[in-house]
Amino acid sequence: METGGTLPPAASLSQVDIAPDTKDWTWVLERTCQDCGLDSQAVPGRVVADILRSAAIAWQGVLGRPEVRTRPDSSTWSPLEYGCHVRDVCQRFDARMSLMLTRDNPDFENWDQDATALAQRYGEQDPAVVAMELDDTARTFAMHLDAVTGDQWLRTGRRADGATFTVDSFARYFIHDVVHHLHDVGSDFDPGRAMGWGPPGRSTNRSE
């Protein structure tokens, strides 16, 4: 069906459904993501808050782009839609971490990310409002991550598909999502710099 002539006009692209992302992304906890370059095993949970605050600033730039509503192609979200998603991911993961810290091995409610995008009409939201909301939810979650100490990092929670996380792996899994979507929208965000590692290739500690 890749005839090229049947695509809807750009203005109506936001009305077209995008194929749901059904991949299980937990592999990012075990190996480096070749797309965004993040090696989440090298990210201690305690620095996730710092990366999140830096990433939230990068998202402000993305959401201020003139072409923020434009999908690069008919099967990829626009930067605005990705921004809405990341805002909601921050909120959802914050709530889940709160459950992990207050209950023993809680089950997470299922969250259909793609259904949420359609139901909340991500593509029609106001980019300036989304930028403010993303900044707010990211800072709030970062503050809660800052407050995690000691054995709290080892507390557990379980996703509907049976995947079990500790607060530590949950935080590292989460930050990959935020960083990966910056890669998706073409940002040059460097998580290593946010962690104080300096620009890629300039580190003297990690190359030995």
Minimum distance from CB of 89 to Zn ion (Å)?
14
CB of 171 to Zn ion, least distance (A): 16
Query: Which of 35, 107, 124, 126 is in the footprint of Zn ion by CB under 5 A?
Result: 35
Provide the terminal-to-terminal Cα distance of the chain, rounded to the nearest Å.
51
Secondary-structure breakdown of the chain: helix, strand, coil percentages, each rounded to the nearest 5: 55, 5, 40
Stretch that binds Zn ion, among 41-49, 51-59, 91-99, 180-188 (CB under 5 A): 180-188
Considering the complex, what minimum distance in angstroms separates the CB of residue 85 from Zn ion? 14
Least distance from Zn ion to the Cβ atom of residue 36, Å: 3
- The runs of H, that is alpha helices, within the chain are 48-63, 79-102, 113-119, 127-146, 167-184, 191-194
CA 167 to CA 98: how far, in whole Å? 10
**Orientation of helix 79-102 relative to helix 127-146, angle to 10°:** 30
Give the count of residues interacting with Zn ion (CB under 5 A): 4
Q: Among 13, 36, 48, 148, which residue interacts with Zn ion (rule: CB under 5 A)? A: 36
Residue (27 or 102) nearer to Zn ion, CB: 27
Q: Under the criterion CB under 5 A, does residue 181 sit at the interface with Zn ion? A: no
